[in-house]
Chain A
């Protein structure tokens, strides 16, 4: 049985160090070709016509005029007349023309008749929905919430929540498709080359072996790019009809209207504690919308599980467009609800929230030890004890400062993954996996694990990913990729290395199991002087490379990887009480994720999550017009992302070393994006003395909270 364990700390040559991402040069020089950049000979431009109505029955579709427009080569009706569209932006017709301008002209010539039906796009109260517009979610009770709440010495009540936001991937959803006979090649912007191949095969009723998905680079997904989507098969059908390759990328408005939304979640919360700060009771009724379907039950109360609790959730079914998984689905919203309420409870006692969280850390369960260490680390980084002041103690002038904190969790166990490792007689090494690099650094991780195994630098490893014809690997969602590919790569590389050892052992007058590959050499472990170089060792393969497979299966558990992380974040803000503008002064993050492979890209994930967190905490929201049912800000002027001047100073501390490394590799992409909303909301409350109940914390909401009134229009 081969030994796949990660090497002990003193024997690691690459793991845990900082490396530049391997695809950095090709990306930063503009040479990386994304799906959006594909230009094939004879390429046509695809466009979709979408419903302007949030809820309507499609009565008729007339494409005659469009088909006769200059340059039009194929038209496809995607939506059956008689059926109901359920959001503005739902696609009805696709067409392909010689140029983008001709495709746009033709799209305008498509005539669609609708019978407009009543819509619902407001999610601010659950009862507003009316009959048939809600769906009961989970209802749960533990302990004696009523009794504990009555007995509590301090209680608070409040409404908290987070509005709908979109994914707003900079590379919009879409693909280019090309047929060669019955074989389809698709350049897709996807988080899931393996799964999209399956999806295309099913949608088009063609053998999966005829489909090839290519995603060498992709411009952001965040949970919204897992499937073939309606536009994947439509693009392939246009290609088939026209006998030409077609590229069909969503335009920005359609991207924001329908290609991804994070569900809203709001909750009415009661929470109770003893005067000494012990949390005793939680009661919440939550609701939210994920468009036409339920967005699942939020994990409320989040992380800090009060001993006596009652929770109830209701899904509001609306016409805002379908929700999709958004980086740590339901966690950021649940976090802002829970941590805001607990922060208000601490303020009501009154108690420093840091002390309150530490006192109640047992309610976080088995990871309490990590949270404890992370809270103390973050507090040290931001100088919490020096800077924190009780809520309501305002200083002179209109700029008020405040501190806030939050903790979070995520799973991040590795997905299924198959890797193939080839060692060539010339010494070059390839790792081949049908995975994809979303920008998290997957390519670099794979090379790092192979390099560690072979005692070679990263530059010696060729990584082949982004092609569904490679050995299948899971979708890059749920922070599962790093665990999946590091495990399959380690196994494939170890298996290949053992084959190499068997070939070269005689030359070193040793047994294969006595050999090790270190620092570019194959040598006898007990007698390092007996060594040959990596090239010399590989030359002994003659003309036949070694090809070995490695597989990460979901079960049984293994020790290369595990699941479950924690993190603590703290924010320092300043709030202008005259304008309501919140400014991030600094944020700190202490984050664990087991064994960190590449420190540089790990830190980048946390920095990126903090910045994305600032954006959803302060700026972004998918705003719906109740009159027309349409998205009011389906563009990037009014769908606001934070810019460079909007973020503060950030510091990240990765929790590593003894006590952390033994857990093996765990995913990191999602967890650090969970806490920023809550930490910032709590910091604002600390600064201005009152709670702004929902995020994003806009200036209008700040001013309304200061006046003790709800902001006009929004919850």
Chain B
């Protein structure tokens, strides 16, 4: 199932460290997803990717400078708008969104790339915003849950979540909606099994997975009807 998961690092220039790790076949047994060794592996590979990303950025910039430790001016492209702000280099994309820009749809829960409540899109791919530094997110098109539909309107995925009651307390819901949105871009006609395996990067405590599964399958239909 691993190749079916959408939350993964891109090759070069893709989302950096925060990208969620896909499930692998062993996850079908239900316990290896958070296995320690694999967790360590994620750290290593994510580190490699972030280095690659920085080198890529460096080669395009004539004079790389050392940023920080105090606040530095940066510009983030959020939901189609360039947003200037000043943050310390250690500030995560999630904290920049929530605390500096009052964009609070992405939630802070585990704060270490496990639960997916902070999921945003970086260049269209799902990523954990709690594990991406804001300064590293400057060259990406950042899409938050707020960017999926205008205020007062619902994206097809959000609408399917409402219809299938894929939410209770709702704290994991925005992250799930963004993850499903990214997942359906890669899997426009997912099977039940693909949905089950492909959304393992998000966790819910109230137990809304039944609704999430149904909503994802239904949203795929809504989206394909929209394209037709």
In the complex, A539→B205 CA distance in Å? 47
Chain B residue with minimal CB distance to A607? B210
In the complex, A170→B106 CA distance in Å? 12
One digit per residue, 1 when the CB lies within 8 angstroms of any chain B CB and 0 when it does not, for chain A 359-382 equals 000000000000000000000000
Indicate if A49 sits at the interface (CB-CB under 8 A): no
B8-43 interface with A by 8 A CB criterion: 23, 27-31, 33-34, 36, 39
Number of A-B contacts (CB under 8 A): 216
In the complex, A27→B215 CA distance in Å? 15
Indicate if A131 sits at the interface (CB-CB under 8 A): no
Q: Are A581 and B30 in contact (CB under 8 A)?
A: yes
Q: Are B169 and A439 in contact (CB under 8 A)?
A: yes
Q: Are A28 and B162 in contact (CB under 8 A)?
A: yes
State which of A79-87, A413-421, A637-645 sits at the interface with chain B: A637-645
Q: Which residues of A contact B206 (CB under 8 A)?
A: 220, 439, 608, 612
Q: Are A30 and B34 in contact (CB under 8 A)?
A: no
Partner of A645, one of B23, B111, B144: B23
Chain A residue with minimal CB distance to B88? A101
Q: Which of B33, B90, B153, B206 has the most CB of A within 10 A?
A: B206
Indicate if B209 sits at the interface (CB-CB under 8 A): yes
Q: Which residues of B contact A438 (CB under 8 A)?
A: 168-169
Q: Are B208 and A604 in contact (CB under 8 A)?
A: yes
Q: Are B109 and A31 in contact (CB under 8 A)?
A: no
Q: Which residues of B contact A252 (CB under 8 A)?
A: 109-112
In the complex, A640→B34 CA distance in Å? 8
Q: Which residues of B contact A32 (CB under 8 A)?
A: 170
One digit per residue, 1 when the CB lies within 8 angstroms of any chain B CB and 0 when it does not, for chain A 162-196 equals 00000011111000000000000000000000000
**Chain A interface extent, by class:** 35 or more
Q: Which residues of A contact B162 (CB under 8 A)?
A: 20-21, 24-25, 28
Indicate if B197 sits at the interface (CB-CB under 8 A): yes
Q: Which residues of A contact B108 (CB under 8 A)?
A: 36, 249
Partner of B174, one of A30, A583, A601, A619: A30
Q: Are A170 and B205 in contact (CB under 8 A)?
A: yes
Q: Are A21 and B210 in contact (CB under 8 A)?
A: no
Partner of B109, one of A101, A170, A608, A611: A170
Interface majority SS on A: helix, strand, loop or mixed? loop
Indicate if B115 sits at the interface (CB-CB under 8 A): yes
Partner of A29, one of B27, B158, B165, B213: B158
Indicate if B114 sits at the interface (CB-CB under 8 A): yes
In the complex, A27→B33 CA distance in Å? 28
Chain B residue with minimal CB distance to A652? B210
Indicate if A57 sits at the interface (CB-CB under 8 A): no
Q: Which residues of A contact B107 (CB under 8 A)?
A: 34, 36-37, 170-171, 219
In the complex, A3→B213 CA distance in Å? 43
In the complex, A641→B203 CA distance in Å? 7
**Chain B interface extent, by class:** 35 or more
Q: Which residues of B contact A603 (CB under 8 A)?
A: 165
Q: Which residues of A contact B115 (CB under 8 A)?
A: 170, 636, 641
Indicate if B84 sits at the interface (CB-CB under 8 A): no
One digit per residue, 1 when the CB lies within 8 angstroms of any chain B CB and 0 when it does not, for chain A 526-564 equals 000000000000000000000000000000000000000
Interface majority SS on B: helix, strand, loop or mixed? loop
Chain B residue with minimal CB distance to A102? B88
In the complex, A218→B205 CA distance in Å? 13
Indicate if A647 sits at the interface (CB-CB under 8 A): yes
In the complex, A32→B162 CA distance in Å? 14
Nearest CB in chain A: distance from B5 CB, A: 10
Partner of B170, one of A28, A39, A168, A610: A28
Also in contact, A581 and B112, with CB within 8 A (given A101-B91, A171-B169, A219-B107)? no
Q: Which residues of A contact B151 (CB under 8 A)?
A: 29, 31
In the complex, A637→B39 CA distance in Å? 8
Indicate if A440 sits at the interface (CB-CB under 8 A): yes
Q: Are A25 and B158 in contact (CB under 8 A)?
A: yes
In the complex, A643→B213 CA distance in Å? 12
Q: Which residues of B contact A169 (CB under 8 A)?
A: 169, 205
The 5 tightest CB contacts between A and B, nearest first, are A30-B105, A611-B207, A219-B171, A608-B207, A30-B145
With A27-B173, A29-B177, A650-B210 given, name 16 new contacts (CB 8 A). A21-B162, A29-B105, A29-B155, A36-B104, A39-B98, A101-B91, A222-B205, A582-B30, A583-B29, A583-B30, A611-B204, A612-B206, A636-B203, A637-B39, A643-B27, A646-B31
Q: List 29 A-B contacts (CB under 8 A).
A: A21-B165, A28-B170, A29-B155, A31-B151, A34-B104, A37-B98, A39-B102, A39-B104, A100-B99, A170-B205, A171-B107, A439-B167, A439-B169, A576-B29, A608-B207, A636-B115, A636-B203, A637-B39, A637-B110, A638-B36, A641-B115, A643-B23, A643-B202, A644-B196, A645-B23, A645-B196, A645-B197, A646-B31, A646-B33
